[in-house]
Amino acid sequence: MGKRRRKNKELILDIAEKYRGTGETLCSHFGECGGCLFQDISYENQLKIKAQYLNQVCADVLPKIENIHATEPFGYRNRMDYVAAFGCRGFRKRGSFKQVVDITECPLLQNNSEKVWKRIHNSIHEIEDYDYLSHNGFLRYTVLRQGFFSGETMLNFVVSEKKDFEIFEKIINSVDSLIKSSSILLNDSLTDLSFGPEIHTIKGGSITESFDLENSPHNNNKSIEFTIHPNTFFQSNSKVAVNMYRKIRELVSGRVLDLYCGVGSISLFCADKCESITGVDIVEDSINSAKRNMQLNNIENASFVCADARPFIKENSKSFETLILDPPRAGINPRMYKYLHSLSPSRIIYMSCNPATFKSDYENLKEQYNLESFEVFDMFPQTPHMESLALLVKRGNI
Ligand SMILES: C[S@@+](CC[C@H](N)C(=O)[O-])C[C@H]1O[C@@H](n2cnc3c(N)ncnc32)[C@H](O)[C@@H]1O
């Protein structure tokens, strides 16, 4: 973790201290597990802590945050990665990458996935685990993914070598009615990753998630379907993500560039509001997935390019009215600012999982752009994380 990130994490944990004990913990692992740092704080106070943190970190640049969009505080996560190491199957211990807590329950996980984990937990213990410090052993991760709106569930195993997979087939049989897809992924590298090439498909091979374009009670609401493969990224909290996408959809117009598009979920969700939309991401698997999802949804005015964002905009000769930015936690590469200025979109819609890096990116754009709106969404209740959405409008453009 970088110095600035560590400092920001310490700051939000410091702010949280005085609210400790105001909430009821739902989970027997709280305190030991590194996942939920805020479970002993009431949800109302968690939102206050996040607002106070933002108002300290961004006070000189951003307007005062009074309100953070709340959501269901539990049962929201689409994905959980259970590490298998040191005789435990679970999550990293609070404050220590080298220790793992054996996890039997997790209230953040959606219902069906939680049911699956409870049923298979003992069987997963029978498989040889992988010591990621000495690099010996077999099973590295068990990954559960679930579409929040579709309910479809995927169970994947990440292993260090190709071996007999009979034990995994048996496990899948024991939860067959709860699982739509199951694959075995290979990670034979020294890097601690919970993905890798798919070497065996036990069942299915993908799940679908479905996002309604509008939050309307009418059943004729049009939706966008996303096929999620074992290695493709998808937002961890569908309910909050779809709310944010709906806001973005209201803001886009004309020719749109979606930089850092991932599997193209924002592009596809907003396509009918744009003249054209171009998504760019550095990961080929994600771009392939975006292209497949474009066909699945019969979208014709989107295109996807696998490229590094900086050379892409440096060499780009097209003009775009709207730029969507949703970069990784570190924000955009500072060497990109000058190309962003020459791209000169009338509006920039900036979605960020790290408001502190958004702040420094905005500081470099604010000479040419006014901050029209800035909203914060609690995408990750029980944790210090949050997601923000900003609209920047070029000076002189209303
Ligand atoms: C926060 S995710 C974007 C998620 C996506 N907008 C969505 O809603 O599903 C950030 C993305 O940036 C991509 N990325 C990271 N570095 C990049 C670079 N230098 N150029 C282009 N894309 C990059 C990652 O592959 C990842 O998909």
Phi, psi of 247 (to 5 degrees): -65, -40
Residues 236 and 370 in one domain: yes
**Mean pLDDT computed over every residue of the chain:** 94
Question: What is the mean predicted confidence (pLDDT) over 359-385?
Answer: 94
Residues 44 and 158 in one domain: no
Residues 220 and 329 in one domain: yes
Indicate the pLDDT class of residue 287, thresholds 50, 70 and 90.
Answer: very high
CATH number at residue 370: 3.40.50.150
Tell me whether residue 257 is in a domain: yes
Q: How far is the CA of 233 from the centre of ligand 1 (A)?
A: 9
pLDDT surpassing 60 at residue 48? yes
The preferred substitution site among 193, 240, 260, 270 for testing ligand 1, maximizing ligand atoms within 8 Å of CB, is 260
Say what the pLDDT of residue 1 is: 56
Which domain-ending residue is among 205, 230, 263?
A: 205
Quick check: is 306 catalytic? no
Say what the pLDDT of residue 302 is: 98
Say what the pLDDT of residue 219 is: 55
Q: Which residues of 179-189 are buried (b: 16+ CB within 10 A; e: fewer)?
A: bbbbbbbbbee
Residues 254 and 331 in one domain: yes
Q: How far is the CA of 332 from the centre of ligand 1 (A)?
A: 10
Indicate the pLDDT class of residue 397, thresholds 50, 70 and 90.
Answer: low
Residue ranges lining ligand 1, Cβ < 6 Å: 233, 235, 260-263, 265-266, 280-283, 286, 308-309, 326-328
Residues 301 and 334 in one domain: yes
Residues 183 and 281 in one domain: no
The ligand 1 atom at the shortest distance from the C-alpha of residue 333 is: 19
| Contact call for residues 352 and 329 (beta carbons, < 8 A) | no
Say what the pLDDT of residue 398 is: 57
Q: How far is the CA of 353 from the centre of ligand 1 (A)?
A: 11
Indicate the pLDDT class of residue 369, thresholds 50, 70 and 90.
Answer: very high
Q: How far is the CA of 349 from the centre of ligand 1 (A)?
A: 15
Nearest CA to ligand 1 atom 13: 260
Which domain-ending residue is among 174, 205, 236?
A: 205
Say what the pLDDT of residue 155 is: 98
Residues 225 and 164 in one domain: no
Indicate the pLDDT class of residue 290, thresholds 50, 70 and 90.
Answer: very high
Tell me whether residue 97 is in a domain: yes
CATH number at residue 154: 2.40.50.1070
- Domain tally, the chain: 3
Poorest-pLDDT segment among 247-251, 339-343, 375-379: 339-343
Q: How far is the CA of 150 from the centre of ligand 1 (A)?
A: 24
Q: Domain of residue 348: give its range.
A: 211-394
Q: How far is the CA of 380 from the centre of ligand 1 (A)?
A: 19
Tell me whether residue 52 is in a domain: yes
pLDDT digits (tens, 9 = 90+) for 205-263: 999 999 999 887 665 679 999 999 999 889 999 999 999 999 999 999 999 999 999 99
Poorest-pLDDT segment among 51-65, 206-220, 262-276, 324-338: 206-220
Choose the catalytic residue: 353, 367, 372, 375.
Answer: 353
Residues 85 and 154 in one domain: yes
Question: What is the mean predicted confidence (pLDDT) over 60-85?
Answer: 95
Whole-number Å distance between alpha carbons of 37 and 29: 11
Residues 216 and 360 in one domain: yes
Say what the pLDDT of residue 8 is: 81
Question: What is the mean predicted confidence (pLDDT) over 289-307?
Answer: 97
Which domain-ending residue is among 158, 188, 205?
A: 205
Question: What is the mean predicted confidence (pLDDT) over 139-167?
Answer: 97
Indicate the pLDDT class of residue 368, thresholds 50, 70 and 90.
Answer: very high
Tell me whether residue 347 is in a domain: yes
> What's the full length of the chain, in residues?
398
The preferred substitution site among 258, 282, 389 for testing ligand 1, maximizing ligand atoms within 8 Å of CB, is 282
Question: What is the mean predicted confidence (pLDDT) over 302-314?
Answer: 96
Nearest CA to ligand 1 atom 5: 262
Residues 53 and 92 in one domain: no
Tell me whether residue 71 is in a domain: no
Tell me whether residue 67 is in a domain: no
Poorest-pLDDT segment among 56-70, 164-178, 302-316: 56-70
Tell me whether residue 72 is in a domain: no
Residues 358 and 221 in one domain: yes
Quick check: is 387 catalytic? yes
Tell me whether residue 63 is in a domain: no
Say what the pLDDT of residue 220 is: 67
Residues 287 and 328 in one domain: yes
Indicate the pLDDT class of residue 7, thresholds 50, 70 and 90.
Answer: confident
The preferred substitution site among 233, 269, 281 for testing ligand 1, maximizing ligand atoms within 8 Å of CB, is 281
Poorest-pLDDT segment among 248-252, 307-311, 356-360: 356-360
